[in-house]
Amino acid sequence: MNHFPRSLPPAIDVALEAGRKLRLKLEAMKQALKDGDEAKALSMAREICGLEQQNQRAA
């Protein structure tokens, strides 16, 4: 017997997709660090933290 509301599976799909996107961004940041591209790594970190979008709005 399923005790979860019917709306839960779509919410889980959304959460899983958000996790996949974050994982890809973290992998890109990790690769930038391995490559010694500190500017790209910092840019990725800002994007992951939401700072990149704030800076674009302020400009």
| Domain membership flag for residue 1 | no
Query: pTM above 0.85?
Result: no
DSSP state letters, 3-51:
-S-TTHHHHHHHHHHHHHHHHHHHHHHHHHHHHT-HHHHHHHHHHHHTH
Domain count of the fold of the chain:
1
Proportion of the chain above pLDDT 70, given as a percent: 73
| Domain membership flag for residue 2 | no
Exposed / middle / buried, residue 33 (Cβ in 10 Å: 0-12, 13-18, 19+): middle
- Phi and psi (nearest 5°) for 4? -90, 145
| Domain membership flag for residue 26 | yes
| Domain membership flag for residue 15 | yes
| Domain membership flag for residue 17 | yes
pLDDT at site 9:
81
What is the band of 53 on the pLDDT scale with cuts at 50, 70, 90?
Answer: low
| Domain membership flag for residue 4 | no
Domain interval for residue 15: 10-58
| Domain membership flag for residue 46 | yes
